[in-house]
Amino acid sequence: MRVSSERSPDRFRPFFGRQERRMSIGYACLALAVPGTSIKKCLIRNADGTRLRDLISRNLRALETMVDYNRESGIRLYRISSDIIPFASSPVNDVPWETEYREQLRTIGDKIRAAGMRVSMHPGQYTVLNSPNPETFDNAVRELLYHARFLDALHVGLTHKIILHVGGVYGDKKQAAQRFAYRYAALDERIRGRLVIENDDKCYHVEDVLSLGKSLMIPVVFDNLHHAANPPGVDSTDADWVAACRETWKAGDGPQKIHYSQEDPLKRRGAHSATIAADEFLLYMNGLPPEKPDIMLEVKDKNISALKCILCTEDRGIGALEKEWGCYKYLVLEHSQKAYQSIRQLLKDKAQYPALAFYSLVEEALAREPDVGSAVNAANHVWGYFKDIATATQKERFAGLMRDYAVGSVSLARVKRSLYALAEAYPREYLLKSYYFV
DNA sequence: TGACGTCAAGATCCG
DNA sequence: CGGATCTTGACGTCA
């Protein structure tokens, strides 16, 4: 099979069929351009039983919708948001959610297992197990227990992990690491069965984490961007560190996992990029040992990049690319009419699977600022869905918005919000799923 | 004391 | 009044 023409060097070539195992690529917490998947929360002062129950049932429905979407899209790795049960580890939440939502949790877990999906959870940077502050430590334990209870309530096995950073240094890294060690040893078995540790960008580099992982038998997640920001003194390649981390994953832990992200060139050092650049991703992947780990992407465009990376490493046929094109087309049109035409040409040959070429064209188009002409053209294409069914008021309103946009008195975002509202009012599934509105 | 990171909730402004 | 835009929250560490 061919991915792209001769202009694609070997090192960018995907590795279809070269793996012993089908690796999984996934995204964290929220699915973009998937209606009904937003996770809601509230301020702690408003968190009474009624409000919390409302949020929990909403959020579980959203989670189920995301799991459905993942299954339909063939995304087999997914991180569940810690906000799914708001204030779960705080005394303000006394809702017995495990029993009240037992059936729903069970159903979601069944779907996850049936789809062969692997889920994880990742308490934030404020869950600090090795803190010298007893209250912080206590909070961390309750937070970890909540995560373990949630995954237990889904009835998913111990390959579905909880990812944690080691914590703070407090002026003495050795002592702080020891405190992590004995506190880990005392944790509830429900937590220890799932806990894995990750290198961070400030305190504990991959060598520190590996040393803890080895002595405590905790699997280690390698994060490439944290590693770039906080490398150990030892000079070694990412591939070697990934291989070293792999040794910490025992049979019952499931396949090794890593976190992968790219730096946003326009932002502060260490900031996650808007999207994953496909060629750079393939270059990185091809540098890793042949047996690939599961890869959790940390990137702004979430599921969109996950699908991109999956389709660039797994031949799912031209139909999968055509489906993606359906989501991208108006967004591409907005940025570049030339790229729009090129991609249409590219996808005409149904015998090919030009995944990398497709995404390269998309990335190239999206990297350029849309000019007013292209943006107007794209908006009019979308308006085409409504121009015959809209009311007189809606027609007037849209025409007015377009006039105002053309003279610069209204933002493009405003125009798009208005079009999205129409897609909701006259339900147009196809448009509601479009990346045009992301 | 504020930066760090994250994103929606909540608050306020505007026409 | 509704929509747009600005600010806060919730967490802990460290400079």
Q: What is the pLDDT of residues A187-224, one digit of tens each?
A: 999 999 999 999 999 999 999 999 999 999 999 999 99
* CA of A28: nucleotide with nearest C1': B6
A195's enclosing H/E stretch is strand A195-198
| Greater model confidence, A269 or A159 | A159
Query: Residue A9: pLDDT band by 50, 70, 90 thresholds?
Result: very low
The CA distance from A225 to A259, in Å, is 8
Pick the range with the lowest mean pLDDT from A2-11, A124-133, A299-308, A414-423: A2-11
Q: What are the tens digits of pLDDT across the range A247-259?
A: 999 999 999 999 9
Token reading at A430: 């196809």
Give dist(CA A273, CA A238) in Å, integer: 19
CA A250 to chain centre: 25
- What separation in angstroms does the CA of A151 have from each of A82, A105, A169, A287? 11, 9, 30, 33
Interatomic separation, CA of residue A133 and C1' of nucleotide C11, rounded (Å): 14
- What is the spatial distance between Cα A37 and Cα A310, in angstroms, rounded to a whole number? 21
CA–CA separation, A92 vs A44, rounded Å? 8
Give the nucleotide with minimal C1' distance to the Cα of A47: B9
pLDDT tier, A2 (very low <50, low <70, confident <90, very high otherwise): very low
Q: How far, in Å, is the CA of A6 from the C1' of nucleotide B6? A: 42
pLDDT of A3 higher than 50: no
Q: CA–C1' span, A77 to B12, in Å?
A: 41
Nearest protein residue by Cα to C1' of nucleotide B4: A125
Residue A194 · residue A161 · CB < 8 Å: yes
User: pLDDT value at position A4?
Assistant: 41
> What tokens does A30 get?
């929220």
pLDDT for A146 beyond 80: yes
- Nucleotide nearest A45, from its CA to each C1': C9
Give the nucleotide nearest to A42 (CA→C1').
B9
Residue A379 CA to B13 C1' — how many Å?
A: 29
Residue A197, beta-bridge partner list: A164, A220
If residue A83 lies in a helix (H) or strand (E), which one and from where to where?
none
CA distance linking residue A289 with residue A15, whole number of Å: 11
Report CA(A43)–C1'(B9) in Å, whole number: 7
Q: List the A135 CA – B13 C1' distance (angstroms).
A: 40
pTM score: 0.94
Nucleotides of C under 7 A from a protein CB: 4-5, 9-14
Bases along strand B below 7 A from a protein CB: 4-10
Point out the residue nearest to C8 (C-alpha to C1'): A43
A224 vs A306: CA distance, rounded Å: 17
Residue range A12-40: mean pLDDT, rounded: 81
For range A307-329, the mean pLDDT: 97
Footprint of strand B on the protein (CB under 7 A): A 29-30, 38-43, 46, 124-126, 268, 270-272, 298, 300
The Å distance, CA of A269 to C1' of B3, is 14
What's the whole-number mean pLDDT along residues A254-269?
90
Q: By mean pLDDT, which of A98-112, A320-334, A411-425 is the weakest?
A: A411-425
A402, A376 in Cβ contact below 8 A? yes
pLDDT at A39: 92
Residues with Cβ within 8 Å of residue A430, at least 6 apart in sequence: A326
The answer, yes or no, to whether residue A62 has pLDDT greater than 70, is yes
pLDDT at res. A145: 96
Q: Cα–Cα distance between A19 and A125 in angstroms, integer? A: 34
- Token pair, residue A411, equals 């933002």
Distance measured from the CA of protein residue A328 to the C1' of nucleotide B13, in angstroms: 35
Pick out the nucleotide with least CA–C1' distance to A92. C10
> Which residue has its C-alpha nearest to nucleotide C13's C1'?
A168
Q: A94: closest CA among A136, A51, A57?
A: A51
pLDDT at A204: 95
Closest protein residue to C11 (Cα–C1'): A126
Phi, psi of A96 (to 5 degrees): -75, 70
